[in-house]
Structure 1
Amino acid sequence: MSEPDTVAPEHADVLVIGAGLSGIGVAARLRREHPERTVLILESRSASGGTWDLFRYPGIRTDSDVQTYGYDFKPWQGSTALAPAADILGYVRDTAREYRLDERIRYRHKVVRADWSSPNACWTVTADTGDGTATFTTNWLFCATGYYNYEHGYTPELPGTERFTGRLVHPQQWPEDLDYAGKRVVVIGSGATAVTLIPAMADATAHVTMLQRSPSYIIPLPAEDKLHTLFRRVLGDERGYRLTRQKNIAQNVWVYKLCQRFPRQARAVIRWLNKRLLPTGFDVDTHFNPRYDPWDQRLCVVPGGDLFSAIRRGKASVVTDTVDTFTETGIALTSGRHLDADIVITATGLDLLALGGITLSLDGTPVDITTRLAFKGTMLSDVPNFSFAVGYTNAPWTLKVDLVAEYLCRVLTAMDRRGATVVIAENDRPDMPTRPLLDFAAGYVQRSLDLWPRAGSVDPWNLQMDYYKDITVLRNTPVDDGTLTFTGADEATRGGDLVRPD
């Protein structure tokens, strides 16, 4: 009996995992700067768009201004400050069409394993298609899987949920048939999802209550960026977009730095803004006065102050308390109060997942990513031809993705110039003190710090969440600065030692 035919793995010069905002942005950058290279995108879901296709809850929008959330090479056409999910999804998919990436996406391909072969100087990537496995090879592997688990969100222990006779919903699995018209709704949580949901649902419900264990900082933002509209009218779309980005980036960076340097004054300003927009006599210090300082956790932004407007109109309210137990008709609080509810929404956060849960190995030896350091925030120590994107916790996500994609293109250009097939960020200081890669106080980050690579204490392993520093490190510093190790084709074939550039 003859042996069955085997299908050769599909090969790409660069393989990107994930067809969301990050993956499409990286692939488009590669199309622009390295059109001679083949690019392939593997997407676990049946559609592109990542977050903006997954989440379907009412009012979903970006919590960063869209002029800095958009790609630096593709002007955002709208005038709203915070764009709805449908507009962002359209923007991502327009980018994919513009750079002919649609034909390069393989849907329903969930990457489970990637194995590096030193003799072949390439990765073999295994994906689960639902009907079996598919195998691919690539010279460079880029992980654009985001930072959270797409399968489910985070819900804490909530006693008595089995007794509740109403609907219990997590925003990440929003049911299409959920009818909240005229219903009493309780939203558990006070983060970006909660402050988006409540004003979007308020007018249709009998009443919606935000139940929070502790307050978050919530600040209003004008619904429309009038300067962006002016810049576009005077300078044209592209130049107007770039000027708006520069203005908004500087504004974001300086607000963050001022909050960190002058937390007491920043707290006072935010309290003043809240008090001005809330009803007379509202208990601001109980419901909008967090225990932590501004920007120790991410600030929540509400366009046009819509959350405060819903509270003023009596359509929404805020309760600061903790859950004792669910009852048949709602939630009993530790204070003794009972919240009647037909629907309870647990806007309690994300379940983080590093690198999409993919298993890496080098020549058959598994890689424990929690023992690796992040080189310039995008490569892993001693892992060849591999990079990833994790956006900012204190600024729009895409700002970091743009810089990381640009850096990848610069590395590939340096490889071409040297005739190299392999690039490694070698950690020659294994005893270096380390810190968490995501150094942020938010609960969803703190719950999963032990799942991620680490950051070092010295450059180039010590990259803070600082956009202007990243410009220096990722855009302006020469790739051939002695921190990367390049291997030529001959050395890779012979399995020779890696040599740092002169």
Structure 2
Amino acid sequence: MRTAEDRAVTAQDGIGSPVEHLDVLVIGAGISGISAGYALKTRCPGKSYAILEARDSLGGTWDLFRYPGLRSDSDLYTFGFSFRPWTEDKSIADAASILTYLRDTASAFGIDRRMRFGQRVVSAAWSTPDARWTVEVEAGPERRRLTYTCRFLYACAGYYDYEGGYAPEWPGAAEFSGRIVHPQAWPDDLDYAGKRVVVIGSGATAVTLVPAMAKTAAHVTMLQRSPTYIVALPAKDRIAHWLKRRLPAALAHRLARWKNIGLTIFFYQFARRKPEAMTRRILGGIQAQLGTGYDVGTHFTPRYKPWDQRLCLVPDGDLFKAIRAGQASVATDTIETFTATGLRLASGKTLPADIVVSATGLKIKMMGGVHLTIDGTAFDPAGAYFYKGMMFSGVPNFALALGYTNASWTLKCELTAGYVCRLLNRMEAKGETWCVPRRGDAVGEEPMIGFTSGYIERARHLMPKQGASRPWKLHQNYVLDLANLRFGRLDDGTMEFGGRSHDARRAA
């Protein structure tokens, strides 16, 4: 019997370079790529596949970012993989622990042996007559050209730009005598011990950086134009630890995972249906952390409703502890200009600074920047609808891993990987060579991601749309998606299947 590796085919392109053919080509070796690799290995064992990673190591976000205090903002019982339980004490874990977990997982299941590093996918062209993608890749620092062909293309590269984050142009920044750094490009030589630090921003990165830097800095100020909803949770899951002491490890992990899934869904639905009550609950928790004399109304009360943007998590209330200890403070204001020694604000106040950290967000890059063409026509994601939160209308044999915005990224990525395998196995069984969602039944038009966060608003023109109902609606609900993606019909009236495998073999 031939293995999947044996089925990979190498040919020559028009200029004599080798062209490798695979059943599935995965783009990205982070959490989504590892999920894809595991699903393909276990559910489609006869399929050949490779995972192409532009960087030199696996891990995605957790290998790229190096700023102080970097950690998960979801619990690892759901952020970790269902097929390899998280066993560390803390459920809100630091980046080094998460990266070790990802590397160990990829190694344990042999997924790392399918990864090819330093290979950046530039473009992919679909041919309907051949029922295949031709994928152009730049390899290594010299950007050597490689070509692959594949039956199915699976983008697992996330949705933000790895080359750089968003950095506004501030008046007077050139006059500042200190250093301005962005968390996405954290310098190894940055020494902030005993320094005055201003962190610009109020999102997840800022609330992570402030307490971490405050441990050794002279003082850290979080400067924000407007507040973000912040929730303090224990770093250790006490219920999960109780279950571990009394039950077999696998059962304890499964129960802890479903407990956290249930709580996440409950609080999200509660926030959407009763936003005023949820706001009172969140702000009451902050007031209890900071004391009755603290101005929570100014510094921690957003202008929007809970979950119009993602909630920020602070494990064990570390941000509030730093504020209470006087190591950190919050300024809610706008920047008038930088000066040589700090920042002057619109209110007239000044913030002295030796270091300024621009925690101002990300830049969106759909599909890792890969340029798609369909039968010679360039594909524009903004003109497409998003099918079941994973495929584009009119694009054959292509899937995109996109995690939840209101829960752990991994939960949706595992469901997507499983659904892709269902599609592959169905086409194999019926002798079909392509599948494509058709947008004829798409009703209504809504943004793909409903958040009002700055990085989302800046990229609306890059993103596909979602519809008002299934299968074009993103429900952001794991239970509904589990039922639909794992057990729902594949031939749902929207997904079209076609082609003949013997025609494809003859074309090859």
**TM > 0.5 fold call:** yes
- The structural deviation recorded for 1:231 is 1.6
Structure 1 residue 28 corresponds to structure 2 residue 21: no
Please say which of residues 418-427 and 142-151 is displaced more in the overlay.
418-427
CA contact (8 A) 2:308 2:450 kept: no
Match of 2:447 among 436, 439, 450: 436
Normalised by the size of structure 2, how large is the TM-score? 0.94
Please say which of residues 117-126 and 471-480 is displaced more in the overlay.
471-480
Structure 1 residue 70 corresponds to structure 2 residue 80: yes
CA contact (8 A) 1:164 1:327 kept: yes
| CA distance in 1: counterparts of 2:395 and 2:367, whole angstroms | 14
2:460 corresponds to which residue? Answer: 449
Match of 1:486 among 474, 497, 504: 497
- The structural deviation recorded for 1:464 is 2.3
Structure 1 residue 350 corresponds to structure 2 residue 362: yes
Query: Deviation string for 1:403-434 (max 9, x for gaps)?
Result: 1011111111211221111111122247x432
Structure 1 residue 313 corresponds to structure 2 residue 319: no
- The structural deviation recorded for 1:490 is 5.9
1:334 corresponds to which residue? Answer: 346
Partner secondary structure for residue 384 of structure 1: coil
CA contact (8 A) 2:35 2:414 kept: yes
Structure 1 residue 44 corresponds to structure 2 residue 57: no
Structure 1 residue 323 corresponds to structure 2 residue 338: no
Partner secondary structure for residue 185 of structure 1: strand
Query: Deviation string for 1:261-311 (max 9, x for gaps)?
Result: 111111111111111111451111110111111111111111100000001
Structure 1 residue 7 corresponds to structure 2 residue 25: no
Query: Deviation string for 1:96-138 (max 9, x for gaps)?
Result: 1122122211111111100111222111111112322111111
- The structural deviation recorded for 1:86 is 0.9
Alignment of 1:156-171 (within 5 A): 156-171=168-183
Partner secondary structure for residue 9 of structure 1: strand
| CA distance in 2: counterparts of 1:490 and 1:71, whole angstroms | 34
- The structural deviation recorded for 1:182 is 0.3
1:127 corresponds to which residue? Answer: 137
1:360 corresponds to which residue? Answer: 372
2:211 corresponds to which residue? Answer: 199
Change in 2 beyond 3 A, CA 1:373/1:4: closer
Please say which of residues 175-184 and 219-228 is displaced more in the overlay.
219-228
2:99 corresponds to which residue? Answer: 89
1:467 corresponds to which residue? Answer: 478
Structure 1 residue 102 corresponds to structure 2 residue 89: no
| CA distance in 1: counterparts of 2:14 and 2:329, whole angstroms | 66
- The structural deviation recorded for 1:442 is 1.2
Normalised by the size of structure 1, how large is the TM-score? 0.95
CA contact (8 A) 1:79 1:226 kept: no
CA contact (8 A) 1:422 1:492 kept: no
Change in 2 beyond 3 A, CA 1:416/1:309: same
| CA distance in 1: counterparts of 2:280 and 2:244, whole angstroms | 35
- The structural deviation recorded for 1:236 is 2.2
- The structural deviation recorded for 1:172 is 0.2
Partner secondary structure for residue 433 of structure 2: strand
- The structural deviation recorded for 1:481 is 3.0
Change in 2 beyond 3 A, CA 1:490/1:243: closer
Give the aligned residue type for 2:449: L
| CA distance in 2: counterparts of 1:203 and 1:488, whole angstroms | 62
Partner secondary structure for residue 336 of structure 1: coil
Partner secondary structure for residue 146 of structure 2: strand
1:498 corresponds to which residue? Answer: none
* Number of equivalences: 492
Please say which of residues 456-465 and 316-325 is displaced more in the overlay.
456-465
Gaps of 5+ in 2: 1-12
| CA distance in 2: counterparts of 1:174 and 1:221, whole angstroms | 27
| CA distance in 2: counterparts of 1:456 and 1:494, whole angstroms | 37
CA contact (8 A) 2:384 2:465 kept: yes
1:423 corresponds to which residue? Answer: 435
Change in 2 beyond 3 A, CA 1:261/1:489: same
State the identity %. Answer: 50
1:372 corresponds to which residue? Answer: 384
| CA distance in 2: counterparts of 1:443 and 1:5, whole angstroms | 45
Q: Which runs of 4+ in 1 moved over 4 A?
A: 490-495
1:287 corresponds to which residue? Answer: 299
Give the aligned residue type for 1:444: Y
Query: Deviation string for 1:343-397 (max 9, x for gaps)?
Result: 0001011111111111101122211121111111111111111001111111111
Partner secondary structure for residue 420 of structure 1: coil
1:499 corresponds to which residue? Answer: none
Gaps of 5+ in 1: 496-502
Query: Deviation string for 1:328-356 (max 9, x for gaps)?
Result: 00000000000000000010111111111
- The structural deviation recorded for 1:482 is 3.2
CA contact (8 A) 1:121 1:492 kept: no
CA contact (8 A) 1:222 1:304 kept: yes
Partner secondary structure for residue 323 of structure 2: helix
2:122 corresponds to which residue? Answer: 112
CA contact (8 A) 2:69 2:208 kept: yes
2:5 corresponds to which residue? Answer: none
Alignment of 1:133-148 (within 5 A): 133-148=145-160
1:182 corresponds to which residue? Answer: 194
| CA distance in 2: counterparts of 1:258 and 1:363, whole angstroms | 46
Partner secondary structure for residue 440 of structure 2: coil
Change in 2 beyond 3 A, CA 1:5/1:226: same
Partner secondary structure for residue 121 of structure 2: strand
Match of 1:266 among 256, 271, 278: 278
